[in-house]
């Protein structure tokens, strides 16, 4: 037996070593039959099996309501059915298994730091399994009018509107640039008729259904644009066949390969009646700005309360976005048809209609927002001395600009003569803020010179705008021009009646790029500002070649290649460097002078059965380019929103990686954000961020209890990394 001071010290050291080993063992639990599974105090891990054996490529979902806001984390099992959910905040969690070919397993309550084996439940039949399929598999069942039905002959003819010249144009409206611009079609909430309308015949039920809620005007206009009689007949047939038991003709594949390395984290924010257009949490030009900081959302028409997420503290708050004029219109007064979800209560009440946020290098948040009535002040109009008003006077602007400074908690409101929609900062000394206007014929490109505005506070002096002028006389500069409805003049240039929807800056040459939704089939647009954009900006337009059509959201990579989501079911790239002929002159007004610059990549998922062209029923809303390899798939990887695939769709070396969000069913986002929180922390220090961006969270699994969510995507090196 050891005695004395030295002996006691040795005993103490030995006991400390034993305690440390026990502590390490507790923090590094291993599965007895699968020793590669290791979990620490903040992890969960185990093996998923069913009656068929280990279940590979299925999701394990852990969800809790014990944090300041509802929180969930989702991982995918590996080829042996093993899983590890890393970095769970301390709380009790409901854990269950979801996967294609399964129905949800019973939920198990547990806490982090444990090995938890789970029993998956094989779907008893095809109908039960299909309830978990992404919306695209259901929407692809919609019957499409054959090409021989076009052009439409109107209500007294074939029911297709006379203005619809082709099947492509009809599809453009029932997809990205119509029905699916606000929410997915094919979710349970859209493919099943609400009980309130089931006493009607199916055609009348659909006519009544689209008259519900505060979006009634948009929905009726969309259906009218393509022909109400034919479109409602086809939608009625679609839901009738589903009600009779018809199932999708194709099935989704479980996550494969690198898709199994994805970790999805979700936080609730804002309120059940709100919806989110998108979010921002860093400077697009430098994604280390605001590391580990808060995210800010744009609630568009639904509310003036800007949602704020603190992902470190797992908390959600709000700040009220003000208006300059109390007479600013409100969506609360929009026409309203009683809803099967909300009755006759208006759920949208926004005056600001803040649509798209961007963060600057100082961590301040800039919004496109409505701050006053739409009629413009005199300095915007004809007779003003403002340089841009002299060139192209503006009578109205539906949205303007605002800036929120988190440090002071204050908003700065900026009245613009030009309408705003999306916005982006240039990589120039003045941090010029360029804006889009909505995508159709709004007529101008607008900007704010931030250096001038921050030095003087003079919103009139700091802003400018320019019409879209094509160099059709081919002399390389901007001259006097003819109007859109006038024939070309060999001595003049040509103004085109378009408007940018998306907006991006080419880092190679500073040109401004975007998409124009109209006139059909739409364009990729390039604007070279020149030394004095009001007077020198020159526009180029490029029409996608068939079978591509209908661009919506687009972005540009660091090489100057433009990427866009097409309504045709493609991701398109346009590389201007591939153009062979002249890019100015008379042919430039057609937009058809560089088909060789385009490459079309069919999006994942089935095509409509009645459509013969390659492509997909997917109706991707936006494409965002990972310019700095934030996610880990490489620099300049384009990522399209898979709005009917419940996913993000990354194109890597010509192949698709499908990053699915399986819960709640119906994930639909309109934007992607990438941020680096800690460049030295590997996969844990960087992520992609999105929102659930559908206008109708109540169409999804969970119904009216749903709240919009922030969704984080991380890519670990393997499915068991922690």
pLDDT digits (tens, 9 = 90+) for 476-520: 999 999 999 999 999 999 999 999 999 999 999 999 999 999 999
Mean predicted confidence (pLDDT) in 525-542: 98
Determine the pLDDT at residue 4. 44
pTM attached to this predicted model? 0.95
User: Is residue 274 pLDDT above 60, yes or no?
Assistant: yes
Phi, then psi, of 359 in degrees rounded to 5: -110, 140
Q: Give residue 438's pLDDT band: very low, low, confident or very high (50, 70, 90).
A: confident
Yes or no: say if 632 and 661 are a contact pair by the CB < 8 Å rule: no
Structure tokens at 17: 């070593």
User: Is residue 89 pLDDT above 90, yes or no?
Assistant: yes
Determine the pLDDT at residue 122. 98
Determine the pLDDT at residue 26. 40
pLDDT digits (tens, 9 = 90+) for 592-644: 999 999 999 999 999 999 999 999 999 999 999 999 999 999 999 999 999 99
Determine the pLDDT at residue 14. 44
Determine the pLDDT at residue 663. 98
Mean predicted confidence (pLDDT) in 437-444: 78
Yes or no: say if 45 and 32 are a contact pair by the CB < 8 Å rule: no
Which neighbouring-strand residues pair with 513?
Answer: 504, 526
HSE-up of residue 423 (Cα within 13 Å, Cβ side): 34
Mean pLDDT of the chain: 95
pLDDT digits (tens, 9 = 90+) for 223-266: 999 999 999 999 999 999 999 999 999 999 999 999 999 999 99
Structure tokens at 292: 């580990």
Determine the pLDDT at residue 36. 81
Structure tokens at 189: 């909430």
Determine the pLDDT at residue 35. 61
Yes or no: say if 555 and 573 are a contact pair by the CB < 8 Å rule: no
422 vs 581: CA distance, rounded Å:
32
Percent of the chain with pLDDT over 70: 95
pLDDT digits (tens, 9 = 90+) for 705-721: 999 999 999 999 999 99
Domains of the chain: 26-130 (2.60.40.1120), 135-243 (no CATH)
610 vs 144: CA distance, rounded Å:
6
User: Is residue 1 pLDDT above 90, yes or no?
Assistant: no
Yes or no: say if 432 and 448 are a contact pair by the CB < 8 Å rule: yes
- In three-state secondary structure terms, 229 is helix
Structure tokens at 151: 């052009």
Mean predicted confidence (pLDDT) in 90-99: 98
Determine the pLDDT at residue 647. 98
Listed in sequence order, the residues at least 6 apart from 652 whose beta carbon sits closer than 8 Å to its beta carbon are 633, 634, 637
pLDDT digits (tens, 9 = 90+) for 16-75: 443 444 343 444 567 766 668 999 999 999 999 999 999 999 999 999 999 999 999 999
Which neighbouring-strand residues pair with 38?
Answer: 30
Q: Give residue 13's pLDDT band: very low, low, confident or very high (50, 70, 90).
A: very low
What does 250-304 look like in DSSP terms, one character per residue?
S-PPPP-GGGGGEEEEEEE-S-TT----EEE-SBTTBTTTTTT--EEEE-BTT-S
> Can you list the alpha helix ranges (DSSP code H) found in 298-449?
387-391
Percent of the chain with pLDDT over 90: 94
């Amino acid at each position: 037996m050891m005695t004395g001071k030295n002996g006691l010290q040795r005993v103490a050291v030995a006991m400390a070593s034993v305690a440390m080993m026990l502590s390490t063992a507790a923090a590094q639990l291993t599965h007895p039959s699968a020793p590669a599974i290791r979990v620490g105090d903040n992890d969960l891990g185990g093996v998923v099996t069913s009656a068929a054996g280990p279940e590979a490529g299925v999701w394990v979902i852990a969800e809790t309501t014990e944090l300041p806001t509802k929180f969930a984390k989702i991982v995918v099992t590996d080829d042996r059915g093993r899983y590890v959910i890393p970095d769970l905040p301390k709380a009790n969690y409901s854990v269950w298994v979801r996967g294609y070919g399964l129905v949800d397993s019973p939920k198990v309550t547990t806490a982090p730091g444990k090995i938890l084996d789970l029993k998956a439940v094989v779907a008893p039949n095809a109908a039960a399994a299909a309830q978990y399929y992404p919306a695209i598999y259901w929407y692809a069942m919609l019957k499409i009018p054959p090409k021989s039905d076009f052009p439409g002959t109107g209500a007294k003819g074939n029911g297709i509107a006379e203005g619809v010249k082709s099947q492509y144009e009809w599809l453009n409206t029932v997809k990205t640039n119509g029905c699916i611009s606000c929410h997915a079609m094919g979710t349970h909430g859209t493919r099943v008729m609400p009980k309130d309308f089931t006493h009607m015949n199916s055609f009348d039920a659909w006519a009544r259904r689209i008259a519900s809620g505060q979006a009634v005007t948009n929905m009726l206009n969309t259906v009218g644009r393509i022909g109400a009689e034919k479109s409602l007949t086809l939608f009625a047939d679609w839901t009738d066949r589903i009600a009779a038991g018809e199932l999708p003709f194709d099935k989704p594949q479980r996550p494969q390969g690198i898709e199994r390395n994805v970790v999805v984290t979700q936080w609730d924010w804002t309120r059940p009646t709100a919806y989110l257009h998108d979010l921002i949490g860093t400077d697009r030009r430098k994604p280390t700005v605001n590391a580990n900081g808060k995210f800010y959302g744009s609630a568009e028409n639904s509310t003036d309360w800007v949602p704020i997420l603190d992902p470190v503290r797992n908390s959600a708050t709000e700040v009220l976005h003000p208006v300059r004029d109390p007479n600013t219109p409100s969506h609360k007064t929009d026409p309203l048809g009683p809803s099967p979800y909300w009755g006759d209560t208006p759920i949208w009440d926004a005056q600001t209609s803040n649509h798209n946020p961007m963060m600057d290098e100082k961590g301040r948040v800039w919004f496109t927002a409505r701050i006053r009535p739409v009629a413009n002040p005199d300095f915007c109009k004809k007779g003003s001395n403002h340089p841009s008003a002299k060139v192209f006077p503006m009578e109205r602007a539906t949205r303007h600009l605002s800036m929120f400074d988190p440090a002071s908690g204050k908003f700065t409101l900026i009245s613009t003569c030009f309408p705003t929609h999306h916005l982006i900062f240039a990589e120039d000394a003045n941090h010029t803020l360029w804006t889009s206007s909505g995508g159709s014929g709004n007529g101008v490109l607008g900007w704010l010179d931030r250096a001038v505005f921050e030095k003087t506070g003079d919103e009139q002096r700091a802003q400018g705008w320019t019409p879209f002028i094509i160099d059709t006389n081919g002399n390389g500069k901007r001259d006097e021009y003819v109007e859109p409805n006038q024939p070309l003049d060999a001595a003049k240039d040509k103004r085109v009646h378009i408007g940018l929807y998306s907006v991006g800056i080419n880092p190679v040459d500073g040109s401004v790029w975007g998409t124009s939704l109209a006139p059909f089939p739409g364009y990729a647009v390039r604007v070279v500002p020149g030394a004095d954009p009001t007077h020198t900006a020159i526009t180029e337009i490029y029409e996608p070649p068939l079978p591509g059509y209908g661009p919506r959201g687009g972005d540009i990579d660091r090489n100057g290649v433009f990427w866009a989501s097409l309504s045709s079911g493609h991701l398109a790239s346009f590389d201007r460097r591939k153009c062979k002929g002249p890019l100015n002159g008379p042919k430039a007004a057609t937009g058809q002078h560089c088909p060789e610059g385009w490459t079309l990549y069919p999006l994942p998922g089935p095509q409509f059965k009645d459509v013969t062209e390659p492509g997909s029923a997917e109706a991707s809303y936006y494409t965002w380019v990972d310019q700095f390899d934030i996610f880990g798939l490489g620099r300049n990887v384009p990522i399209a929103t898979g709005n009917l695939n419940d996913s993000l769709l990354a194109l890597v070396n010509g192949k698709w990686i499908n990053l699915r969000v399986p819960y709640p069913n119906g994930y639909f986002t309109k934007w992607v954000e990438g941020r680096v929180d800690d460049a030295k922390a590997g996969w844990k220090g960087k992520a992609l961020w999105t929102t659930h961006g559908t206008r109708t969270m109540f169409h999804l699994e969970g119904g009216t209890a749903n709240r919009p969510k922030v969704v984080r995507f991380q890519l670990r090196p393997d499915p068991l990394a922690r």
